[in-house]
Amino acid sequence: MKTLTISLIFFFLAGSIAMSQKAIVIKEDSIDLKHGTIPGFITAIPEVAFETINDSWIKSLEQGTRSKVQKDGGELSIFGAIIKEITPNPVNIYGYVKDADTVTIVAAAYELKKDEYITPDKHEQSALVRQYLLTFAKDLYLDLAKNELRDKEKDLKNLENELSSVEGEKNKLDKMIKSNNNSINSINDELLILRTNLSSLNEELLIQNNQLNSLDEGPAKEEKEKYIKDLEKNIKKTNNDIESDEKKLVDLRSEIEKAQVDEIPENLKEQQRIKIAIDQQEEVVRVATEKYNTIRDY
- CA distances to 156, 262, 266, 292 from 169, rounded to whole Å, are 20, 13, 11, 37
Mean per-residue pLDDT for 67-81?
95
Distance between CA atoms of 297 and 198, rounded to whole angstroms? 85
| 44 and 167 belong to one structural domain | no
**Residue 19's pLDDT is what?**
57
Asked if the model's pLDDT at residue 13 lies above 80, the reply is: no
* 143 lies in some domain: no
Does 18 score more than 50 pLDDT? no
| 290 shares a domain with 161 | yes
Q: Supply the CATH number for residue 285's domain.
A: 1.10.287
Is the pLDDT at 6 greater than 50? The verdict is no
What are 172-196's pLDDT values in tens digits?
999 999 999 999 999 999 999 999 9
Q: What is the mean pLDDT of the chain?
A: 91
Q: Looking at the domain assignment, is residue 233 inside a domain? A: yes
Domain membership of residue 141 (yes or no) is no
Who has greater pLDDT, 180 or 102? 180
Query: What separation in angstroms does the CA of 184 have from each of 82, 168, 254, 262?
Result: 84, 24, 12, 21
Q: Residues 248-272: pLDDT tens digits?
A: 999 999 999 999 999 999 999 999 9
- How many structural domains is the chain composed of? 2
- Cβ-count burial 229-261 (b if 16+ within 10 Å, e if not): eebeeebeebeebbeebeebbeebeebbeebee
- Note whether 30 and 155 are same-domain residues: no
Instruction: Report the pLDDT value the prediction gives residue 221, as an integer from 0 to 100.
Output: 84
User: Is residue 292 in a domain?
Assistant: yes
Q: What are phi and psi of 79, to 5 degrees?
A: -110, 130
At residue 3, does pLDDT exceed 80?
A: no
Is the pLDDT at 12 greater than 50? The verdict is no
Residue 20 and residue 82 in one domain: yes
pLDDT at 120: 80
Q: Is 1 a residue whose pLDDT tops 80?
A: no
The reply to whether 174 falls in a domain is: yes
Q: What is the pLDDT at residue 23?
A: 86
In a domain, 133, yes or no: no
Structural domain for 82, as ranges = 3-123
182 and 260 part of one domain: yes
Tally of residues, the chain: 298
Average pLDDT over residues 210-222: 85
- Please give the pLDDT value at position 11: 37
pLDDT, one tens digit per residue, over 20-62 is 678 899 999 999 999 899 999 999 999 999 999 999 999 999 9
Specify whether 16 is located in the same domain as 78: yes
Asked if residue 13 lies in contact with residue 67, where contact means CB atoms within 8 angstroms, the answer is: no
pLDDT tens digit string along 126-157?
999 999 999 999 999 999 999 999 999 999 99
pLDDT given for residue 208 in this prediction: 87
Query: How far, CA to CA in Å, does 8 sit from each of 127, 132, 165, 202?
Result: 11, 12, 50, 103
- Can you give the pLDDT at residue 25? 95
B/e letters for 107-144, b = 16+ CB within 10 Å, e = fewer, are bbbbbbeeeebbbbeebebbebbbebbbebbbebbbeb
